[in-house]
Structure 1
Amino acid sequence: MKGKKLLIGAGVVFVFFFVLVRVGVWNSRGGFSEFIKGQSAPSLVLERRDASLHPGAAPESVVRVRIDAAKPVNTVDPEFISFAIDSSQLVGGKWWNPKADRVEMGGGEKHAPVFDFNSPKMDILARGLAPAYLRIGGTEADRIYYDMDDDGKERKAPPARYESLMNRKQWDEALAFNARNGLKFVFTLNTGPSSRRPDGSWDGANAESLMAYAAKRGQRVAIWELGNELNLFWYAYGPSKTVSAEQYEKDLASLRALAKKHHPASLCTGQASAIWPVLGEPLGLIFGTQGPYLARAGALFDVVGWHYYPQQSRRGPVGSRRAYPARLLDPGYLDEAGHWAAQVTKLRDAYAPGKPVWLGETGNAQYGGEPGVSDVYISGLWWMDELGLLARSGHAVVVRQTLCGSNYGMIDQETLTPRPDYWNSLLWKRLMGRKSYSVQVEGEGTSKVRVYAHDSPGGGLCALVINLNHDRDAAVTFPAMKDRKVVVYRLNAPDILGPVVLLNGAPLAVTGDGTLPTLAGEELPVKGEPVVKVRPLSYAFVRFP
Structure 2
Amino acid sequence: MKLVLLLCLLSPLCDGVRIRGLFTENNLTIVPGSLTPSVGVDMDLSAVVHRVDPRFLSVTIDASLASEEKFMSLLGSPKLRTLTKALTPAFLRFGGTRQDFMVFTPQKPRHSNTAFTADESCDKLELPSWLEEKLKGEWPEQQMMLMREDVQRKYRRVKFTEYTVDVLHAFASCSGLDLIFGLNALLRTAQNSWNSSNARSLLQYCESKQYHMSWELGNEPNSFEKKAGIRVDGFQLGQDFTKLREIMARSKLYHDAALYGPDVGQPRDHRIDILEGFLQSGGAAVDACTWHHYYVNGRDTSLEDFIDPQILDSLALKINEVLQRVQQTSPGKAVWLGETSSAYGGGAAGLSDTFVAGFMWLDKLGLGARLGVDVVMRQVLVGSGSYHLVDENLDPLPDYWLSVLYKRLVGPEVLKISAWSKSGRSRRVRLYLHCSSTNSYRRGAVTLMALNLSKKTARVSVPAIVSSSTVDAFVLQSDQPGEEGLYSRSVTLNGVVLKMTDDKTLPDLTANSLPPSVHLKLPAFSLAFFVFTDAQAAACLDPVPLR
Q: Which bracket does the TM-score occupy, shorter chain normalised?
A: 0.7 to 0.9
Contact 1:84–1:135 (8 Å) recurs in 2 = yes
Distance 1:442 1:185, change over 3 A: same
The answer to whether structure 1 residue 455 and structure 2 residue 435 are counterparts is yes
Q: 2:181 aligns with which of 173, 182, 187?
A: 187
Which residue is 2:135 aligned to?
A: none
Which residue is 1:382 aligned to?
A: 360
Please list, as runs of the form range in 1=range in 2, the aligned pairs for 1:34-113 lying within 5 A after superposition: 53=20, 60=36, 62-92=38-68, 113=71
Which residue is 1:474 aligned to?
A: 458
Contact 2:295–2:311 (8 Å) recurs in 1 = yes
Whichever residue aligns with residue 331 of structure 1, its letter is: P
Distance 1:284 1:51, change over 3 A: farther
Runs (5+) with no aligned partner, structure 1: 1-49, 94-111, 156-160, 315-321
CA distance in 2, matches of 1:59, 1:361: 43
2:81 match: secondary structure: helix
CA distance in 2, matches of 1:59, 1:265: 60
Runs (5+) with no aligned partner, structure 2: 1-16, 22-28, 114-154, 534-547
Which residue is 1:537 aligned to?
A: 525
Contact 2:50–2:415 (8 Å) recurs in 1 = yes
Q: 2:387 aligns with which of 389, 405, 408?
A: 408
Describe the superposition over 1:459-503 as per-residue Cα deviations: whole angstroms up to 9, x where unpaired: 300101111112x11112342422321111111111221111110
Which residue is 2:261 aligned to?
A: 270
Please list, as runs of the form range in 1=range in 2, the aligned pairs for 1:416-495 lying within 5 A after superposition: 416-444=394-422, 446-457=426-437, 458-459=441-442, 460-470=445-455, 472-479=456-463, 480-493=465-478, 494=480, 495=485
Contact 2:82–2:503 (8 Å) recurs in 1 = no
Which residue is 2:79 aligned to?
A: 121
2:430 match: secondary structure: strand
Which residue is 1:149 aligned to?
A: 107
CA RMSD between the two structures? 2.4
CA distance in 1, matches of 2:235, 2:255: 25
Whichever residue aligns with residue 307 of structure 1, its letter is: H
Whichever residue aligns with residue 544 of structure 1, its letter is: F
Which residue is 2:245 aligned to?
A: 256
Superposition deviation, residue 393 in structure 1: 0.8
Which residue is 2:219 aligned to?
A: 228
1:354 match: secondary structure: coil
CA distance in 2, matches of 1:430, 1:169: 33
Superposition deviation, residue 444 in structure 1: 4.8
Whichever residue aligns with residue 87 of structure 2, its letter is: L
Describe the superposition over 1:81-119 as per-residue Cα deviations: whole angstroms up to 9, x where unpaired: 1000001112339xxxxxxxxxxxxxxxxxx94451211
Distance 1:113 1:370, change over 3 A: farther
Tell me which moved more, 133-142 or 331-340: 331-340
The answer to whether structure 1 residue 177 and structure 2 residue 171 are counterparts is yes
1:272 match: secondary structure: strand
Describe the superposition over 1:398-448 as per-residue Cα deviations: whole angstroms up to 9, x where unpaired: 000000122100000x21110000000000000111101110213356111
CA distance in 2, matches of 1:71, 1:143: 47
Which residue is 2:148 aligned to?
A: none
Whichever residue aligns with residue 410 of structure 1, its letter is: L
The answer to whether structure 1 residue 510 and structure 2 residue 500 are counterparts is yes
Superposition deviation, residue 288 in structure 1: 4.1
CA distance in 1, matches of 2:470, 2:42: 16
2:211 match: secondary structure: coil
Superposition deviation, residue 148 in structure 1: 2.4
Whichever residue aligns with residue 220 of structure 2, its letter is: E
Whichever residue aligns with residue 241 of structure 2, its letter is: L
CA distance in 2, matches of 1:176, 1:152: 15
CA distance in 2, matches of 1:512, 1:121: 8
Distance 1:444 1:119, change over 3 A: farther
Whichever residue aligns with residue 205 of structure 1, its letter is: S
Superposition deviation, residue 355 in structure 1: 2.0
Contact 2:219–2:263 (8 Å) recurs in 1 = yes
Which residue is 1:218 aligned to?
A: 210
CA distance in 2, matches of 1:401, 1:120: 21
Distance 1:313 1:59, change over 3 A: farther
Which residue is 1:135 aligned to?
A: 93
Which residue is 2:235 aligned to?
A: 246
% of aligned pairs identical?
32
Describe the superposition over 1:203-231 as per-residue Cα deviations: whole angstroms up to 9, x where unpaired: 1010000001101110011x211111101
Whichever residue aligns with residue 65 of structure 2, its letter is: Q
Superposition deviation, residue 75 in structure 1: 0.7
Contact 1:272–1:307 (8 Å) recurs in 2 = yes
Tell me which moved more, 349-358 or 146-155: 146-155
The answer to whether structure 1 residue 207 and structure 2 residue 207 are counterparts is no
Superposition deviation, residue 64 in structure 1: 3.1
Describe the superposition over 1:310-329 as per-residue Cα deviations: whole angstroms up to 9, x where unpaired: 01112xxxxxxx32111121
2:506 match: secondary structure: coil
CA distance in 1, matches of 2:68, 2:418: 48
Distance 1:52 1:288, change over 3 A: farther
Please list, as runs of the form range in 1=range in 2, the aligned pairs for 1:279-290 lying within 5 A after superposition: 280-281=267-268, 283-284=269-270, 288-290=273-275
CA distance in 2, matches of 1:166, 1:258: 22
Superposition deviation, residue 290 in structure 1: 1.6
Superposition deviation, residue 531 in structure 1: 2.7
Superposition deviation, residue 154 in structure 1: 8.0
1:130 match: secondary structure: coil
Which residue is 1:295 aligned to?
A: 280
1:363 match: secondary structure: strand
CA distance in 1, matches of 2:262, 2:102: 16
Describe the superposition over 1:352-379 as per-residue Cα deviations: whole angstroms up to 9, x where unpaired: 2222110010111111111110011111
Superposition deviation, residue 56 in structure 1: 12
Which residue is 1:349 aligned to?
A: 327
Distance 1:531 1:56, change over 3 A: closer
1:429 match: secondary structure: helix
Whichever residue aligns with residue 537 of structure 1, its letter is: F
CA distance in 2, matches of 1:443, 1:483: 26
Describe the superposition over 1:487-524 as per-residue Cα deviations: whole angstroms up to 9, x where unpaired: 11111111221111110000011114631111111111
Superposition deviation, residue 151 in structure 1: 4.1
